[in-house]
């Protein structure tokens, strides 16, 4: 959020009156008019400016300031006409084109606004406010480097210009230069400690840095200064949600919407919080409202698609149709016309592979990407990583070491990133995010590489007509299954579409806890959004069948008391008493997170959206996982993972079989103990942990795609 105090009152100028003897009267009236205008008494000021023009129709200052009043009243066309008349009379006054630029910018005519700011600066090169205003317009146009230059020039002329520090911080933040942005927000606050917008923006930058407590403090200070600040309520909601405090987050999103009902971003963010709480129907309603308010809101549309994947009652046809609609509304307009790729068509040469992701960091995606990057044959492929990572960490540094080229994409426009990819002559571009947070699908819409594919981060078709392939396997997407429809061509990787890299800090497996306690504990560490009503029904039925058994659930959002109460209530409705359920929230260290499996005998996979990382973690910790084979890719990942370890007996094909498998396994303490001892060794020897073989398989798939493109291109 930006604040601007750009001084529309203009300058008081001495000029000659047109009629002899009227000079003193005009000067007196103009002085009175200015005092009323600066005091906010606009009606009185307008009356006096018009009285002046009755005496002197060519009084440019009065025309200009009447235009300013028109702008302040929301009458843009009238303002443009009046200020334009003033410019026609006095073409050497820098304030006039500067203020006309403000009107044009507010009307959305950015290019015209930029032209007038530049005209003002040609007349008055030391005009700090015009440099600032030009910086704002250039930033809105996506020209961040140029915007930063003009903010800096404004500050060189006026070092105490707090708004310029604030907006320079915004431009730097958009470029991913968070430390520099923070410095300028802090300088703005040193100049104006009560600058609510700077507190909000400093909160955002610290939020991006992962400093949530600091961010929350500054959002709260912004709201103390400006309680009706809808954007700060929205941002505070995001930070609280990142901490798992969903109840508090929802409260602030709702307050933002009470203040600003048409706030599309707040509807979207409220949808995210409701989704994370498992309230999927309510979340979908919010995403749809965001899109009704802002039809080009691609992020909200992606969130809608992700949420639909979690939903147990939505037909596959609806999800596919919505995916196509995303493509039609957001992507098709960017698709290039004709064949513009100039890549060398040699089928056997070293391929230039580009991976695009916001998750080159501590994230579930990295557990499956790192083994591939580490095992790539760099004689066969040259690896480029396009990192949309705002808060790099130790995992980022580790992944960076496996790439031949590392490109930070934070702050790059879609057009700029697409051009960077073309300049890098990427042959095959790989999307690792799909419709998850901070994706760059609109770059893929521009088709910067001859071959484009999606893998890993999202369990369904992206819907994009410019993405050629999707990597799956014969269990997640069987060739003879009519439900395995996809906009992309499916490439089924033999032996599985995943390779897991277990964390080095993982503790060793221990004996099943039921051997010492006599009580079997079932557990799930999946996101609460994946725990559908049918899933809860099955878990409750299992616990009713085994009256002494316990259930342990762990999810970040369970840090929130209201969310815990809601989950307890859902289970109580199904006959499960709260004392039989343990709810845990997230812990900062991976080793501590994995040690939770020491408290679990049997892991229960979620459905219809299975776990992926959670299933691999459970197996690595020696905990067997019972899964239900679903009707689409998201519900078959568990079957794929267990199949690679030849654990087909843990794969159910109905809810009844799911309950039976779990109950039977719970009664077989000897088998539980054997699995605990052997699962890690079994997994380490499986295709699921064979990174070199997986890399060769991926590279072979890349080569086939490349040859196909070379042949197709040669035929055109």
Q: Closest Cα to residue 58, out of 32, 36, 26, 34? A: 26
φ/ψ (deg, to 5) at 601: -85, -45
What is the residue-wise DSSP string for 564-612?
Answer: HHHHHHHHHHTT--GGGEEEE---S-HHHHHHGGGG-SEEE--SSS--S
DSSP 14: -
Find out whether 166 and 202 touch, Cβ atoms under 8 Å.
Answer: no
Q: Which two tokens stand for residue 516?
A: 């010492």
**Tokens in use for 224?**
């103390």
CB contact set of 275 (below 8 Å; sequence gap of 6+): 283, 303, 306, 307, 310, 529
Reduce the secondary structure of 612-659 to three states and give it as a string.
CHHHHHHHHCCCCEEEECCCCHHHCHHHHHHHHCCCHHHEECCHHHHH
Tokens of 584: 């845990």
Report the b/e string of 602-624 with b at 16+ CB within 10 A. bbbbbbbbbbbbbbbbbbbbbbb
Could you give all domains of the chain from N- to C-terminal order, each with its CATH number? 1-158 (1.25.40.10), 351-492 (3.40.50.11380), 514-689 (3.40.50.2000)
Tally of CB atoms within 10 A around 437: 14
Whole-angstrom Cα distance, residue 552 to residue 564? Answer: 12
Please, are residues 486 and 528 in contact by the beta-carbon 8 Å criterion? no
CA distance 170 to 4: 13
Distance CA 662, CA 4 (A): 62
pLDDT computed for residue 37 by the predictor: 95
CA dist 618 and 630 (Å) reads 20
Other Cβ atoms within 10 Å of 139 Cβ, number: 21
- Residue 510: exposure state from Cβ atoms within 10 A (0-12, 13-18, ≥19): middle
Looking up tokens 């912004």, which residue turns up?
Answer: 222
Alpha-carbon span 423 to 192, nearest angstrom: 44
For residues 509 and 680, give the distance between their C-alpha atoms in angstroms, rounded to a whole number: 8
- Residue written as token pair 């979620």: 606
Averaged over successive runs of 10 residues, the pLDDT of the chain (716 residues) comes to: 43 44 82 94 94 93 95 95 96 96 95 97 97 97 94 98 98 92 97 97 92 95 97 97 96 98 98 97 98 98 98 92 97 87 96 98 97 98 97 96 97 93 98 98 98 98 98 95 74 97 97 97 97 98 98 96 96 97 95 98 98 98 98 97 98 98 97 97 97 98 98 66
Using CB atoms within 10 Å of the CB of residue 318, give its burial: 0 to 12 exposed, 13 to 18 middle, 19+ buried: exposed
Q: What is the DSSP string of 662-711?
A: HHHHHH-HHHHHHHHHHHHHHHHTSGGG-HHHHHHHHHHHHHHHHHHHHH
Strands (E), 137-189: none
Beta strands 602-604 and 469-472, pairing class: unpaired
C-alpha pair distances (Å), 81 with each of 86, 98, 474, 673:
9, 15, 67, 84
Tokens representing 83 are 């200020």
Give the list of residues 6+ apart from residue 650 with CB closer than 8 angstroms, or none. Answer: 624, 625, 626, 627, 642, 661, 665
What the block records as the tokens of 470 is 């999707």
533: left (phi over 0), alpha (psi -120 to 50) or beta: alpha
Predicted local distance difference test score (pLDDT) of residue 281: 97
Give me the helix-helix angle, 366-375 and 613-620, nearest 10°. 80
pLDDT of residue 12: 43
Helices 128-140 & 95-106, crossing angle to 10 degrees? 20
Q: Encode 215-246: b = buried (16+ Cβ within 10 Å), e = exposed.
A: bbbbbebbbebbeebbbbbbbbbbbbbebbbb
């Amino acid at each position: 959020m930006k604040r601007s105090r750009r001084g529309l009152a203009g300058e008081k100028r001495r000029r000659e009156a047109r009629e002899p003897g009227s000079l003193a009267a005009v000067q007196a009236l103009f002085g009175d008019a200015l005092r009323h205008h600066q005091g906010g008494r606009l009606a009185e000021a307008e009356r006096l400016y018009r009285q002046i023009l009755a005496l002197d129709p060519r009084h440019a200052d009065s025309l200009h300031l009447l235009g300013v009043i028109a702008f302040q009243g929301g009458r843009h066309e009238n303002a443009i006409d009046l200020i334009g008349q003033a410019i026609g009379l006095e073409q050497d006054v820098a304030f006039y084109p500067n203020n006309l630029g403000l009107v044009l910018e507010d009307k959305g005519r950015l290019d015209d606004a930029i032209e007038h700011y530049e005209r003002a600066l040609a007349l008055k090169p030391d005009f700090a406010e015009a440099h600032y205003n030009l910086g704002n317009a250039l930033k809105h146009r996506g020209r961040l480097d140029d915007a930063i230059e003009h903010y800096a020039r404004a500050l060189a002329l006026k070092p105490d210009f707090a708004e310029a520090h604030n907006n320079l911080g915004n431009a730097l933040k958009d470029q991913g230069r968070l430390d520099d942005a923070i410095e300028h927000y802090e300088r703005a606050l040193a100049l104006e400690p009560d600058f609510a917008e700077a507190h909000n923006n400093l909160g955002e930058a610290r939020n991006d840095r992962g400093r949530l407590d600091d961010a929350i403090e500054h959002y709260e200070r912004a709201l103390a200064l400006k309680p009706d600040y809808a954007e700060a309520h929205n941002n505070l909601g995001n930070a609280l949600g990142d901490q798992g405090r969903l109840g508090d987050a929802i409260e602030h999103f709702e307050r933002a919407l009470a203040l600003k009902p048409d706030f599309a971003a707040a509807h979207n963010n409220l949808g995210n919080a409701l989704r994370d709480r498992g309230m999927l129907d309510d979340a979908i309603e919010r995403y749809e409202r965001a899109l009704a308010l802002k039809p080009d809101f691609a992020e909200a549309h992606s969130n809608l698609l992700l949420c639909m994947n979690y939903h147990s009652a939505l037909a596959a046809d609806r999800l596919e149709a919505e995916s196509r609609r995303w493509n039609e509304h957001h992507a098709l307009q960017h698709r290039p016309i004709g064949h513009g790729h100039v890549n060398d068509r040699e089928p056997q040469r070293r391929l230039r592979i580009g991976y695009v992701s916001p998750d080159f960091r501590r994230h579930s995606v990295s557990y499956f990407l790192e083994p591939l990057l580490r095992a790539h044959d760099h004689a066969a492929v040259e690896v480029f990583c396009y990192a949309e990572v705002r808060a790099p960490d130790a995992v980022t540094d580790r992944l960076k070491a496996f790439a031949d080229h590392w490109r930070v994409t934070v702050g790059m426009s879609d057009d700029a990133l697409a051009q960077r990819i073309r300049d890098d002559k990427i042959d095959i571009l790989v999307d690792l995010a799909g419709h998850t947070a901070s994706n760059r699908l609109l770059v893929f819409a521009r088709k910067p590489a001859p071959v484009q594919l999606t893998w890993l981060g999202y369990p369904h078709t992206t819907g994009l007509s410019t993405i050629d392939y999707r990597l799956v396997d014969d269990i997640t997407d069987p060739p003879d299954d009519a439900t395995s429809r996809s906009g992309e061509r499916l490439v089924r990787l033999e032996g599985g579409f995943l390779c897991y890299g277990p964390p080095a800090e993982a503790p060793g497996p221990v004996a099943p806890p039921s051997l010492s306690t006599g009580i079997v504990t079932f557990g799930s560490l999946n996101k609460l959004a994946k725990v559908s009503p049918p899933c809860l029904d099955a878990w409750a039925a299992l616990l009713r069948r085994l009256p002494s058994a316990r259930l342990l659930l762990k999810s970040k959002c369970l840090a929130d008391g209201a969310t815990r109460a809601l989950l307890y209530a859902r289970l109580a409705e199904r006959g499960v008493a709260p004392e039989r359920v343990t709810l845990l929230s997230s812990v900062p260290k991976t080793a501590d997170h994995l040690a939770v499996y020491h408290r679990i005998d049997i892991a229960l996979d979620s459905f219809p959206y299975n776990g992926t990382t959670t299933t691999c973690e459970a197996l690595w910790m020696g905990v067997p996982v019972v899964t239900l084979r679903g009707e689409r890719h998201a519900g078959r990942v568990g079957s794929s993972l267990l199949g690679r370890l030849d654990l087909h007996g843990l794969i159910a094909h109905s809810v009844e079989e799911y309950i039976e498998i779990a109950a039977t396994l719970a009664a077989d303490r000897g088998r539980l103990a054997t699995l605990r001892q052997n699962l890690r060794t079994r997994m380490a020897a499986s295709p699921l942990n064979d990174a070199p073989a997986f890399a060769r398989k991926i590279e072979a798939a890349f080569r086939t795609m490349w040859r196909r493109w070379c042949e197709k291109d040669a035929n055109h």
